[in-house]
Amino acid sequence: MKFSYALLPDYPLQDSLASIRLADELGFHACYAADETWHKDLWLLFAVAAGQTRNIRLGPSVSPVTLREPTLIAQALATLDELSGGRAEAVLSSGNFGLLAQYGIDWARTRPLSRVKEALHVVRTMLDEGAITHRGEFYSYEGLFTFARPVQQRVPLKLGAMRGPRSFEAAGELSDGCHHALSYTAEAYEYAVRHIRAGAERAGKDWRSLDIGAWVVFATGHDSARAKEAARSMVGIYASSMPEEQLLRNGVDPLELKPVVQAIAAGDLARGIELTTPRIAERLSVAGTPDECAEKIRTQIAPSGVNHVICAVTDRRLVRAFTGRDLDGVADVDTQLRLIHEQIMPAFA
């Protein structure tokens, strides 16, 4: 089982760089960040981080092909790969539906899966060949080329998926893996892995060779109650992007979450947090002491075949930035990274 750090680049950049350096020293597999307008630019952050780290892999999880043109993703990836000495990778998706709405884009009209599949082909071709001629449904090029060339023989490209089943199967068939965001139950991961495996086998690939990642809202510390309260403060914000099918696979009635989503959509984060019950928060996060977090990973995530846990670490500063709540007693990012390294990773070595 690999462990990675999912960073929301909303901290002071020097603090983010320090946390990435620490994750590198502690042996985390990768540091990922969301490629979204809401946050500071991950490509610039990781370009600097590449020169300050030795082993940790760097890249977006996810980069939205509806907003970022796929040849520009390939250009940025190849450049980051050279800067990092061959440590770049990316997870592609259609994008955060809430963000797309702020751009005036109705995601349902974009044919999201078809667009992502074509964008994957474009990025793969540009990385592998340095040029592309392509006439597709969404993207067309005539002899486009780039001098941005990666160091790795094959830069890993994966797909982000939440709904399924076709998105999971496409990830297994066409890409190097799948990051499944915001699921926390054995049922949800068994469903995802079953379809990832079906796609891989259709392409004649060994599904166990793929990177199958669980991207989870995560908070840990010696004070279980405080860690769980930090996670509860953020669950509604993340869960508002979860489709109904995914909520049901995680044991949450969409009607139960609807008032939370409505409050957050109206900008009333305090009301959204108030309406997020401890039961919902427990269902939609990995939070508590290191032992409690390890137990949830061991019983709900690992048995399905997931081989990568991506911890979207939630701490006091992140909660304050997003919600205005100031939760004392919540471990900071660096303390949580150390706890994962010292008390959770060894359980899955």
Instruction: Tell me, letter by letter, the H, E, C secondary structure of 79-127.
Output: HHHHHHCCCECEEEECCCHHHHHHCCCCHHHCCHHHHHHHHHHHHHHHH
d(CA 219, CA 108): 33
d(CA 16, CA 251): 34
146 neighbors 130 (Cβ within 8 angstroms): yes
What is the reported pLDDT for 128?
A: 98
Q: Long-range contacts made by residues 165-168, C-beta under 8 angstroms, separation at least 24?
A: 165/191, 165/195, 166/113, 167/113, 167/116, 168/192, 168/195, 168/196, 168/199
**Which token pair is 139?**
């993207």
Query: Would you say residue 17 has pLDDT above 90?
Result: yes
Per-residue pLDDT band for 96 (boundaries 50, 70, 90) equals confident
d(CA 282, CA 42): 30
306 neighbors 321 (Cβ within 8 angstroms): no
Task: Mean pLDDT check: name the lowest of 9-18, 21-30, 95-104.
Answer: 95-104
d(CA 33, CA 67): 16
Residue entry with tokens 């979860």: 242
Q: What are phi and psi of 286, to 5 degrees?
A: -115, 105
Query: Would you say residue 337 has pLDDT above 80?
Result: yes
Residue 53 has a CB neighbour count (10 Å cut-off) of 22
Instruction: Give the start-to-end residue ranges of the domains of the chain.
Output: 169-349
What is the reported pLDDT for 97?
A: 76
102 neighbors 175 (Cβ within 8 angstroms): no
Model confidence pLDDT, tens digit, residues 109-130: 889 999 999 999 999 999 999 9
Per-residue pLDDT band for 106 (boundaries 50, 70, 90) equals confident
Q: Who wins on pLDDT, 55 or 38? A: 55
182 neighbors 154 (Cβ within 8 angstroms): no
DSSP 18: H
d(CA 325, CA 199): 43
Q: What is the pTM of this model?
A: 0.95
110 neighbors 94 (Cβ within 8 angstroms): yes
The identity of residue 303, as a single letter, is P
**Which token pair is 294?**
């390890």
Q: Does the domain formed by 169-349 have CATH 3.40.50.300?
A: no
Q: Who wins on pLDDT, 269 or 144? A: 144
213 neighbors 4 (Cβ within 8 angstroms): yes
DSSP-based three-state secondary structure for 335 = helix
Query: Would you say residue 108 has pLDDT above 80?
Result: no
What is the reported pLDDT for 110?
A: 84
